[in-house]
Amino acid sequence: MRPVIGQTAGKTVREIPAEPALPAATQARSRRRLARAQRWAALAVVLAVCACAVLAEWLSPFDPVAIALADTFQPPSLAHWMGTDQLGRDILSRVIHGARVSLAIALIVVTLAGVLGTLLGVVAGYLGGVADAFIMRLTDMQLAFPAVILALVLAGVIGVNMSNLVVVLTLANWARFARITRGEVLSLKSREYVLLARLAGAGPAWVMLRHIVPGIAGIFVVLATLDIGSVIILEATMSFLGLGVQPPAASWGSMIAEGRGQLSTAWWVCVMPGAVLIVTVLAVNLLGDALRGKLNPVIPQTW
């Protein structure tokens, strides 16, 4: 296209030809390539964190609780890739062992909260009536409190140790499973195969276990994957506040808390575990979104 020259109020105006727009098909392919690269990167990060959790004893270059006062606040180097903390402990070794703590707690909590919330949601959605009203009011009460506040209150009531932390985080996370599962069950129980099973004389327990639960397996997997990142953050928050994993055990949250007072002089004590926490949660969330797109369950955006 040749440039067009015109006169406007005594001035010469030159029209610059516009850049040709990329075809829609090319843009779609670029988005698919980017999404695929994100999924593979997220999977690589999750697998690396899982490998660190499983092989922590062999991958850690130093004892995570060994104190070396001669090596306090050493910056990242070839000897200590992530530096050392105020007691001379190797931060990389503590981050690797912290991955074991965070993933173990997240998997246990998501399993317990998912099973409890899903069972309550199935019962509420299928039976309806008084059971539905009672379970949903409990769900509303739990969702009315922020998860962190509820976890802090429960931790203050029942005490602080690893078992109690699992109980606290489970009680703070079951309601979301129940609410979303109930909505899915309400649509499934009107399907033809469920109605035929009821007409054939099958009892409520059989119908729920045989026909309803398999129908929500996909949404359960997606919800559990999305909830892992939330539980990891919640566990780190509890440990940061001193109500989670107790020293000398390594936890990402407690490591961040220990280094927050030395940000100006020894930034690596706080930044290194914080960066690992952010990258891990981001990778888990990306995998959850990929599963949601693959299995295509209907999940509210507020999840």
pLDDT tens per residue across span 20-65: 555 677 777 778 888 888 889 999 999 999 999 999 999 999 999 8
**Third-level CATH fold of 32-64+86-295:** MetI-like fold (1.10.3720)
CA–CA separation, 134 and 182 (whole Å): 13
Distance CA 189, CA 181 (A): 12
- Digit-coded pLDDT (tens) for 122-154: 999 988 889 999 999 999 988 888 878 888 888
- pLDDT at position 215, please? 85
Alpha-carbon distance of 95 to 140, in angstroms, equals 37
- Point out the residues of the chain with pLDDT beneath 70: 1-23, 296-303
* pLDDT, position 293: 73
Q: What is the pLDDT of residue 11?
A: 53
Rounded Cα–Cα distance for residues 118 and 190 (Å): 19
Three-point CA angle 246, 175, 299, nearest 5°: 115
The identity of residue 222, as a single letter, is V
What is the residue type of 206?
Answer: W
What's the longest Cα–Cα distance across the chain? 90
Q: How far apart are CA 146 and CA 124, in angstroms?
A: 23
Q: CA-CA distance, 181 to 197, in Å (whole number)?
A: 21
Supply angle C-alpha 31, 32, 36, rounded to 5: 120
DSSP labels, the chain: -PPEEEEETTEEEEEPPPPPPPPHHHHHHHHHHHHHHHHHHHHHHHHHHHHHHHTHHHH-SS-TT---GGGTTPPS-SSSTT-B-TT--BHHHHHHHHHHHHHHHHHHHHHHHHHHHHHHHHHHHHH-HHHHHHHHHHHHHHHHS-HHHHHHHHHHHH--SHHHHHHHHHHTTHHHHHHHHHHHHHHHTTSHHHHHHHHTT--HHHHIIIIITGGGHHHHHHHHHHHHHHHHHHHHHHHHTTSSSPTTS--HHHHHHHHGGGTTT-THHHHHHHHHHHHHHHHHHHHHHHHHHHH-----TT-
Q: Bridge-partner residues for 13, per DSSP? A: 6
Measure the CA–CA gap between 277 and 60, rounded to whole angstroms. Answer: 18
Q: Are 100 and 53 in contact (CB under 8 A)?
A: yes
Closest C-alpha to 227, from 99, 117, 149: 117
The per-residue pLDDT for 277 is: 94
Give residue limits of the domains in the chain: 32-64+86-295
What is this structure's pTM? 0.82
